[in-house]
């Protein structure tokens, strides 16, 4: 009888450990997949949102915010995992220079005792140019399209450009 209970205990312990391993590997794999999904989707959406007419006219790289958000959401919705719930947030969208900050919160729809694992993935991306003579920030400041950069001087902010 003692050896029978020991065998049952070992079987139960192995089942619990396999479930724990599956839960941990599913969480880590899900986090990695979310990161690469957000990264690739944001980069592709930034390429879609580049304003080529503005670049031809002014020589400055510019991104359309509305086009970026639309393209990002369409691409992201096509590739998400249907067993998870997602919350998408856009926190910093600049048109000149093109910069995006995206935050994705995902949770598994499988819950244990009303406890769900929430994973947060953030991505910050900046579009860059390969041209050495492309000084789009200085051009945009001269044309008053963006605000002047500021430097921290003690506790007050002062303009860096006259």
In a domain, 160, yes or no: no
Per-residue pLDDT, 153: 47
Number of domains the chain is built from: 1
Tell whether the model's pLDDT for residue 154 goes beyond 50. Answer: no
pLDDT of 73 higher than 70: yes
Peptide bond between residue 97 and the one before it cis (omega within 30 degrees of 0): yes
Domain span including residue 40:
31-145
DSSP characters over 18-31? HHHHHHHHHHHHHH
- Regarding predicted confidence, which is higher, 1 or 77? 77
Query: In this predicted model, what pLDDT tens digit does every residue of 77-114 receive, in sequence order?
Result: 888 877 778 888 888 888 888 888 999 888 765 555 56
Q: Is residue 124 part of a domain?
A: yes
Is the residue at 102 inside a domain?
yes
The residue to which tokens 């969480």 are assigned:
27
């Amino acid at each position: 009888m003692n050896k029978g209970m020991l065998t049952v205990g070992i079987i139960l312990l192995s089942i619990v450990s396999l479930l724990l391993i599956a839960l941990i590997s599913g969480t880590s794999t899900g986090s990695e997949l979310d990161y690469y999904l957000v990264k690739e989707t944001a980069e592709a959406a930034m390429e879609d949102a580049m304003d080529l007419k503005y670049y031809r006219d002014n020589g400055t790289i510019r991104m359309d915010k509305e086009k970026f958000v639309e393209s990002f959401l369409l691409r992201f919705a096509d590739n998400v995992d249907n067993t998870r719930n997602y919350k998408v947030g856009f926190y910093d969208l600049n048109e000149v220079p093109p910069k995006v900050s995206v935050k994705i919160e995902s949770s598994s729809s499988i819950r244990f005792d009303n406890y769900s694992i929430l994973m947060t993935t953030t991505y910050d991306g900046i579009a860059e140019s390969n041209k050495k003579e492309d000084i789009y920030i200085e051009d945009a400041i001269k044309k008053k399209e963006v605000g002047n950069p500021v430097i921290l001087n003690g506790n007050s902010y002062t303009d860096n450009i006259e």
